[in-house]
Structure formats: structure tokens, C-alpha cells
Amino acid sequence: MSQQNKALEAEKQFSQDFIAFAVKKEVLRFGEFKTKAGRSSPYFFNAGLFNDGESLMKLGEFYAAAIQNSGIAFDMLFGPAYKGITLVASIAIAFAKNGHNIPYAYNRKETKDHGEGGVIVGSPLKGRVLIIDDVISAGTSVRESVELIKVNGAKACGVAIAIDRQEKGLGELSAVQEVMQQQQLPVCAIATLTDLLNYLQDKPELAQYLHAVQRYRQQYGVITSN
């Protein structure tokens, strides 16, 4: 097996391990859920349910590995409130465990007018800033983060998410593709809808969900390079 094929196999296994982890923690659930776009989805991913120390530690490690594999060059991390706060802290810790001490920051929803004041908490925004989020739905959080980073004299250099749903956004492109096109930013994900389908295909006990997810992709899916 060539080095390239080995790398692809390792990446595939990495994504499968993450999905298995998310299913075990019931962060990734199957059934009927309504998305922000008003669609009836057969699966739902809620990163807020990584709600204990061990799972948050592992989540940070998955993110850090995906970011490193992406090759995106960055100087610091930024997590938009609220979910992004715990995500960005866990990722910074994961990098530090591997010998990379990376600064991070997050924002307040409202400006603080006492104490240190301001909107940004943590390291001052500077250099190339990598935005951290759980998923990209309408891209609103990314757009707001890009503007906030710019206002503070830094430059957004990319976005890292947990799951790329690979489905249509406002038009024919996926929400992730829209962000990449409109903001001119690379986006990396720990796993994609394709990875989820591969996982379900290997689980006979989840066959009923496999068919539902396949139908959903046929209706709303977008072909991506991932």
C-alpha cells in the first residue's frame, strides 16, 4: 500500500472513530429532527452534549488532529460564543499536550462595561486566526466571527468544524461551500455526511437509519471533495 493510500485509510478510520464516539455519547442521534433550514433530518449532532471532562478532552484531541491534517496555517484559535468557548479551550489544551502552546480567545454576546471590559476574552486577536465551531448551518456565526476578527486587527484564516453535513445551504452549494466561496476561507471537518453513511453501512443494527440518511442525502445532498 502506498503512503498516500495509507494516509487516506488512516483519515477514514479517524473519522469513523469520531462518529462512533459521538454515537456512544448520544451527541449524534437518529430519528426525526428539524434543522434551522426547516428540513426534517434523520440525524442530529449536538456538540453541547459533550458535557463531561473526558468527552470534552477527547473531542479536543479529534479537532486538533483534524486541524493538523488539514494543513491550514494559523497563529491562534477563536471560538464564537457560546458552544465555541468550550470547543476552543479543549482544542488549545489538546495542542499543548502535543507540545504546541497556542493562544485562544472567544467573544462575549454582550460588551462588558466594567472590569477588563470589551467583547473579546482571552488572548488578543492577532495574526492568522482559525475559527472553531461545531457545524456550519447558515454560515451566520462564521460571518460574524470574520468581521469581529477583522475589527480587532487580525485576519481569519480558516474554519474547523466537527461535522460537515454536505447538504444544500441557501442555494445549490452546501453551507460549507458557501462559506468557502463567500469568505474565501478553507474549512476542515473531523467527519462528513459521507463518513456517517460509511459508518451506518457497517452497522446492520442501524440499517433503518441508513436508508433514512440516504434518502435525505438524495433530497438535499451536495457532492463535495470530501
What percentage of residues in the chain have a pLDDT greater than 90? 75
| Residue 46 half-sphere exposure toward CB, CA atoms < 13 A | 14
Closest CA to 145 of 109, 101, 181: 109
Residue 186, SS3?
A: coil
Q: Give the catalytic positions in this structure.
A: 112, 114
CA distance 15 to 72: 18
Q: What is the pTM of this model?
A: 0.91
- What element of type H or E holds 161? strand 155-164
pLDDT of residue 226: 47
- In this predicted model, what pLDDT tens digit does every residue of 113-146 receive, in sequence order? 544 547 899 999 999 999 999 999 878 899 999 9
pLDDT value at 199 more than 70: yes
H helices present in 25-130, as ranges:
53-70, 83-97
pLDDT value at 86 more than 90: yes
H helices present in 81-192, as ranges:
83-97, 140-151, 175-183
CATH number for the domain running over 3-220 = 3.40.50.2020
- In this predicted model, what pLDDT tens digit does every residue of 141-160 receive, in sequence order? 999 999 999 999 999 999 99
Q: Quickly count: other Cβ atoms within 10 Å of residue 183's Cβ.
A: 18
CA distance 17 to 10: 10
- In this predicted model, what pLDDT tens digit does every residue of 28-53 receive, in sequence order? 999 999 987 788 999 999 999 999 99
pLDDT of residue 207: 84
pLDDT value at 208 more than 80: yes
- pLDDT interval class at 7 (50, 70, 90): low
pLDDT of residue 3: 55
CA distance 175 to 170: 7
CA distance 220 to 170: 11
**Mean local confidence (pLDDT), 8-24:** 86
CA distance 106 to 119: 8
Residue 163, SS3?
A: strand
